[in-house]
Amino acid sequence: MGLSWIKMASYYYMRLRGLSNYGLTCCINALLQSFSATPELLELLNKYHPPEEAELNNVPMQLKNALCAMKDTNHHSPHRDFLDCLHRHSIHRFTEHDADEIFHSILNLTQKQMTDKDLAEEIRKLYEIKVETQVMCKECSHIQKTPNSLYSLPLAIREGYNTLESCVQSFAQQQTLRCGEECYCDRCMMKRPFTHQLKLVSLPSVLCIHLKRFRNDGITRKLHNRVTFLETLNMNICNDGQSENVLLAKGYYSLYAVIVHIGTALCGHYTAYIRPTQDQNWCYADDSTVRQATWKEVQDTYEGKTAYLLLYRKMSESASG
Ligand SMILES: [Zn+2]
């Protein structure tokens, strides 16, 4: 009796609900579906209680309200206030947006506006990818390091066929600066040719991967090339022995949301595939339409209707074997 009630409750808890499109808001709608499938974020937002007068223009507060309202099936427009709030922060309706940029804007505004700084820090840590840029002088081998942090891992796509693993590997591969490009070496005390390397220092429990499908070389175009990915991602792949210490961060990750971009760089539409927990089926959300989906359908986003953001959750050590 007790167990079936829990099963029932979790079914309603996790059931996806559609979100109306209020004028090119598909990008934010798709992101909201992914935030809604991130209970780690909800748990932190639920602890947030800003002063009442600050609520209307407060992005983290409106995000919390929207995510709570999405669970209430009687609520007709759970995210309307959130959209209005973003609109007042220059994320306008009736404007085509880039899902990775909006993902960053929402997290940055949350950091900026959250009055509870400890809570803001916990949300930052939930998504924060720490990287280090290393440039090495080719003359004296002196290495200069610059730390940086990211909310999504930007992966370049090559022409032809890509696997997610190959994209991650090229992210950390050594590149010589282009011909004529030199950096100032602190030891040689002059400009020298350098090699350039990005090192992943640590990975968060929620890993957002950004497949860089939009390229701007004068005019923005979309790369439709095939990128395959699996439901489980092994982030130990860079430890190949040749590039020692390239990847300090490691672990196995489980895919739970895919933000899909359909169309061209000029005219597109966003939808989302969501799987809130590993023992659930995939669901598909296209604005107000939601339905059950299959892993096979998610795989169709390797090309054509293309996956753009991939959200992975770190698996516990025991689960990853
Ligand atoms: Zn040098």
Tell me the domains of the chain and their CATH numbers: 14-127 (3.90.70.10)
The whole-number pLDDT of residue 6 equals: 47
Quick one: how far is CA 21 from the chain centroid? Answer: 22
The whole-number pLDDT of residue 183 equals: 86
Ligand 1 centroid – CA 297 distance (Å): 52
The whole-number pLDDT of residue 204 equals: 95
Q: What angle do CA 286, 151, 57 make, to 5 degrees?
A: 70
Closest CA to 257 of 271, 243, 267: 271
SS3 206: strand
* Partners of 214 in the β-ladder: 222
pLDDT > 90: what percent of the chain? 64
Beta strand pairing call for 175-176 and 143-150: unpaired
- For the cut 50, the answer to whether the pLDDT of residue 12 exceeds it is no
pLDDT tens digits, residue range 102-138?
A: 999 999 999 999 999 999 999 999 999 999 988 899 9
- For the cut 70, the answer to whether the pLDDT of residue 245 exceeds it is no
Identify residue 199 by its one-letter amino acid code. Answer: K
SS3 254: strand
Ligand 1 centroid – CA 207 distance (Å): 36
pLDDT tens digits, residue range 139-149?
A: 999 999 999 99
Ligand 1 centroid – CA 259 distance (Å): 44
**31 backbone dihedrals φ, ψ, rounded to 5°:** -65, -40
pLDDT tens digits, residue range 247-304?
A: 555 789 999 999 999 999 888 999 999 997 777 899 999 999 999 999 999 999 999 8
Ligand 1 centroid – CA 177 distance (Å): 14
Ligand 1 centroid – CA 299 distance (Å): 47
